[in-house]
Chain A
Amino acid sequence: MDVLEDAPTTPLDREIASIRAEIAALRHRRSLLSTTLLSDHRVRDRIQRAKTNRSRRAISSEALERVADLAEKQERRNVENAYRIGAGVTSFKVQDPDPHAVDGGRVLGIRIEVFDAQTKSFGTPYYVFLNRPYGAEGAMRVHKHTVPPHIGIKNVVHKYLPQEGKQDLGRFARMLRRELVAHQKRVDSIEGLKVEAELPEAGLESIKATDISAREMVITWNDGCTGRVKIGKDGSIDGVTVREEGANTQKVAGTRRRGRERAIAGGDGRIEGVIRRLLKEGGW
């Protein structure tokens, strides 16, 4: 019923919308089929065979060329994806469109994949672009990047890609990936906590990260208590305060609830088990 209400009013509009949806679905199906077919090694073998003894077949050579081309592209894509999934960090070459770019506009792109546990897929990769402003043998420098500021790429650059001294691109990429993955894991665990917090016996109203860096989260209880939890980069609990609701004047902070604080920070001291520990604590 809801769907119908949202849908466009006139029948013609509805028809257009449904046709559009059908086109999209068909397109998706077509790409899925062609991808599956082209990835199949038997199909590729056949194409290869057809190419070598062309005379027997009635297919035009142009069509065959196209198919072979497509198959090759698909093969490249499959290999690239395999590396992206397996290695997590891949590199590629980019041409800087700026005509005044250093080193003839040669730029090395680094692509860092991070797996998102909620959507069960890889999110948009993070990119770092490096160039060599002091010539082909000179030091590498970060040209552009899409790493959010809270990750602190600057620290990693200072450590592994210093402008003077030895640069270690491999370790740079590994350490940067580590930071990015750590961030994703923090976000994931807070999301996991949210699911657990919905249990009625937990007595929680909400649980959320204060900002996108997921270095701090706020827990509110049904009885008005508010807890602030400081999270370390690796997901450890660095600090926690739980206070009762302040008095009406808002200036006076409520008394602290040490029991809950201990439950949150106790155990293995990691965020994943916060709710479980709180539940075990029981009555406080």
Chain B
Amino acid sequence: MAPRARLSVPTNAALSHSHRLSPSNRDVYKALSRLSRPSLLSLALEWLSDSNLQHCLPYTLADEDQDDADDEDAPYSAAQSIEELTEIYEELRGRKDSKREIIDRIMEGDWRRGISLYQLAMAETRYVMEHQSSQKWHALRLTSIRDDDSGHDTEKREEEELPRFRQQTFLQNLQREIGPFAKAHHYFMRDEELRISLLRVQLYDLPYNSSQALQDVALAKRGPSEGAKSVYAVFPDATAYVYVSLGSSSNQPGTDGKSLQRIVIDAIPKALSRPQARYTLKTTALSAKSLPSLLALRGSGRSNTASGGWSIFVEDSKGSNALDYAESASNDILTPADNKENMQHGEKRRLETIGETNDVQNRKRWKRIAEGRFGRPGLECDGHGIERFEVRIDDAFPKSDDGKTIVSRKRDQPEDRIDGSHQKVVTKTSSKSGRKKRPSLLDKTQNDEMDESREANSTWKPDVRILFHGAHVFAGIRKLVEQGVVDGEKMPGWMTGEAGVSIGVVKHGRMMAKTDAAL
């Protein structure tokens, strides 16, 4: 009797960790080659560790005996045992082989039968965690749906708590949501240092969850819009925030891929919901590339709503301890708290306009002002950068006869030249009837339009949008203040990053972020 072919039945189940992708798969090669040499080696050793081994079995002599394959052709001989393999990779650390050779060894030697989905996921998340600026993260917030309902029931609201996050239950629920649309592979990773859990969902557009189907689809469809789509979600401990990144492992996903990723993101709050406690994700108007900056602004610490100059209170420097009676010790050490006070005294003094003399004293004063306004963050090296900061000014245009603008600039030194490499300010002015390119969070709502028509004619409100763009926008603005290009005293608060958003509307000189982050 001929052996029965294994059945492939369409199913809603998730893809198994141990399904293998063929070594010729481009995703695999790409994922591995992105890693640096040392991290590639430690990844291989991690695969061989006891906890991961069951999903990452390498090709050893035992397999060779079973296969009785023509091992003369193979470029690498199979290892005797896992222990030997571990030793080989430990040894490789000290040697000087190129990264290319190690990848070859992995793909054609020790894992010649293919890299499992679990291994691929480990490789990709390792890359994401090592290059924390490689993805663009959007900070979202889990909100209870009950909150949105018209009934402002304060007693019920009081009991609102953060959803409890349990990995296995969450994955089960998530799979139930995603399953009917695509086959997914889930991988969870925990980073104790950052106190986050990272979820990677890789989507495959295929009906079966067998290993064969996976190989077929990987071989058949290699068009530009196909391939696997992955979504990353970060769950920081003890917060209601979720950071989402629409990573794509192979190619730019087409519309199909985008909607699949959308499904995953929509599924996250549903998977966290319980009966009587349903959640939805809302934007918090913050996206940035670096995870640390998101953790500072939407994390579990104290700094969420106290950024900019207020950050001095997050880690109190001077006189924080109520048992500390020393008063005079800090005479010679300038702490940020001191500067804050100095700045406030300075503010009261009327000083001549900036930009005439560039002497040392002015520089010192500017520096002090900058420290007072920006506090501790806003330094280039702090790694808490926001790359893109977009605002719409919703105030009436200043009258021409008083001639004052919020930001006074030196006429002879355009900003780009002073700090060109660091940051670029793009100011775009268009009339209200002008063509809008794409809908944005900044666009006026109907309410805004109605308010405007009521107070029309008396003032002129151009649609001004400012886009700050650079490696670390607020460090750039701080530098401009220190150079005296931007008047640090008249500068509005939103330019210090106080609002903690990356997109928002400025009204009456204050940031009206479309978010509930600041209560």
Contacting residue for B509 out of A99, A155, A213, CB 8 A? A99
The interface-forming segment of B3-11, B225-233, B321-329 is B321-329
Return the chain B residue nearest A98 by Cβ. B493
Which residues of A92-106 are within 8 A (CB) of B?
A: 95-102
Q: Which residues on B sit within 8 Å (CB–CB) of A162?
A: 154
Return the chain A residue nearest B158 by Cβ. A155
Which residues of A146-163 are within 8 A (CB) of B?
A: 146-150, 152-155, 157-159, 162
A125 on the B face (CB < 8 A): yes
Q: How distant is the Cα of A162 from the Cα of B326 in the complex, in angstroms?
A: 39
Q: A98-B498, A124-B320, A149-B238 are in contact. Are A34 and B161 (CB under 8 A)?
A: no
Q: How distant is the Cα of A84 from the Cα of B301 in the complex, in angstroms?
A: 23
Shortest C-beta distance, B299 to chain A (Å), equals 8
Residue of A38, A141, A152 contacting most chain B CB atoms (<10 Å): A152
A122 on the B face (CB < 8 A): yes
B502 on the A face (CB < 8 A): no
Q: Which residues on B sit within 8 Å (CB–CB) of A27?
A: 329
Contact B493 A213 (CB under 8 A): no
Return the chain A residue nearest B330 by Cβ. A31
Q: A35-B325, A142-B519 are in contact. Are A125 and B320 (CB under 8 A)?
A: yes
Contact B344 A77 (CB under 8 A): no
Q: A157-B519, A212-B238 are in contact. Are A127 and B306 (CB under 8 A)?
A: yes
Which residues of A169-192 are within 8 A (CB) of B?
A: none
Contact B327 A77 (CB under 8 A): yes
Return the chain A residue nearest B160 by Cβ. A155
Contact A212 B300 (CB under 8 A): yes
B60 on the A face (CB < 8 A): no
Q: Which residues on B sit within 8 Å (CB–CB) of A144?
A: 305-306, 310, 313, 518
Q: How distant is the Cα of A29 from the Cα of B301 in the complex, in angstroms?
A: 34
B130 on the A face (CB < 8 A): no
Q: How distant is the Cα of A35 from the Cα of B329 in the complex, in angstroms?
A: 9
Q: Which residues on A sit within 8 Å (CB–CB) of B519?
A: 141-142, 153-154, 157
Q: How distant is the Cα of A149 from the Cα of B302 in the complex, in angstroms?
A: 8
Q: How distant is the Cα of A164 from the Cα of B63 in the complex, in angstroms?
A: 73
Contact A84 B322 (CB under 8 A): yes
Contact B322 A81 (CB under 8 A): yes
Which residues of A54-112 are within 8 A (CB) of B?
A: 70, 73-74, 77-78, 81, 84-85, 95-102
Contact B510 A95 (CB under 8 A): no
Contact A97 B237 (CB under 8 A): no
Q: How distant is the Cα of A78 from the Cα of B323 in the complex, in angstroms?
A: 9
Contact A211 B320 (CB under 8 A): no
Return the chain B residue nearest A81 by Cβ. B322
Q: Which residues on A sit within 8 Å (CB–CB) of B315?
A: 124
Q: Which residues on A sit within 8 Å (CB–CB) of B492?
A: 98-100
Contacting residue for B344 out of A70, A95, A113, A148, CB 8 A? A95
Main secondary structure of the interface of B (DSSP, over half): loop
Q: A124-B315, A148-B302 are in contact. Are A159 and B509 (CB under 8 A)?
A: no
Which residues of B359-402 are within 8 A (CB) of A?
A: 372-373
Q: How distant is the Cα of A205 from the Cα of B16 in the complex, in angstroms?
A: 32
Query: Size of chain A's interface in residues, with CB distance under 8 A?
Result: 55
B202 on the A face (CB < 8 A): no
Contact A158 B305 (CB under 8 A): no
Shortest C-beta distance, B357 to chain A (Å), equals 23
Q: How distant is the Cα of A141 from the Cα of B489 in the complex, in angstroms?
A: 25
Residues 23-42 of chain A: 1 if any B CB is under 8 Å from the residue's CB, otherwise 0? 00001101110110011000
Contacting residue for A97 out of B303, B314, B493, CB 8 A? B493
Q: A27-B329, A150-B300, A152-B161 are in contact. Are A122 and B322 (CB under 8 A)?
A: yes
Which residues of B121-164 are within 8 A (CB) of A?
A: 154, 157-162, 164
Q: Which residues on A sit within 8 Å (CB–CB) of B328?
A: 31, 34-35, 70, 73-74
A121 on the B face (CB < 8 A): yes
Contact A35 B373 (CB under 8 A): no
Q: Which residues on A sit within 8 Å (CB–CB) of B373?
A: 97
B44 on the A face (CB < 8 A): no
A258 on the B face (CB < 8 A): no
Residue of A34, A149, A162 contacting most chain B CB atoms (<10 Å): A149
Return the chain A residue nearest B147 by Cβ. A154
Shortest C-beta distance, B347 to chain A (Å), equals 7
A221 on the B face (CB < 8 A): no
Q: Which residues on B sit within 8 Å (CB–CB) of A35?
A: 325-328
A145 on the B face (CB < 8 A): yes
Contact A78 B509 (CB under 8 A): no
Q: Which residues on A sit within 8 Å (CB–CB) of B350?
A: none
Shortest C-beta distance, B515 to chain A (Å), equals 13
Contact A85 B322 (CB under 8 A): yes
Q: Which residues on A sit within 8 Å (CB–CB) of B510?
A: 98, 100-102
Q: How distant is the Cα of A73 from the Cα of B329 in the complex, in angstroms?
A: 12
Contact B306 A146 (CB under 8 A): yes
Which residues of A197-220 are within 8 A (CB) of B?
A: 210-213, 216
Contact A150 B238 (CB under 8 A): yes
Q: How distant is the Cα of A233 from the Cα of B271 in the complex, in angstroms?
A: 25
Q: How distant is the Cα of A126 from the Cα of B313 in the complex, in angstroms?
A: 8
Shortest C-beta distance, A171 to chain B (Å), equals 14
B490 on the A face (CB < 8 A): yes
Q: How distant is the Cα of A73 from the Cα of B324 in the complex, in angstroms?
A: 14
Which residues of B462-506 are within 8 A (CB) of A?
A: 489-493, 496, 498
Q: Which residues on A sit within 8 Å (CB–CB) of B343?
A: 97
Q: What are the 4 A-B residue pairs with the smallest beta carbon separation, nearest first?
A: A100-B509, A98-B493, A31-B329, A211-B237
Known: A73-B327, A99-B491, A127-B313; 10 extra A-B contacts, CB below 8 A, are A35-B327, A74-B325, A99-B493, A100-B492, A101-B493, A121-B323, A145-B306, A146-B306, A158-B154, A159-B158
27 A-B residue contacts at CB 8 Å? A28-B329, A38-B327, A70-B328, A73-B327, A74-B328, A78-B325, A95-B347, A97-B344, A99-B490, A100-B492, A100-B509, A100-B510, A102-B510, A122-B321, A145-B306, A146-B302, A146-B314, A148-B301, A150-B300, A152-B160, A153-B519, A157-B519, A158-B154, A158-B157, A158-B158, A159-B158, A162-B154
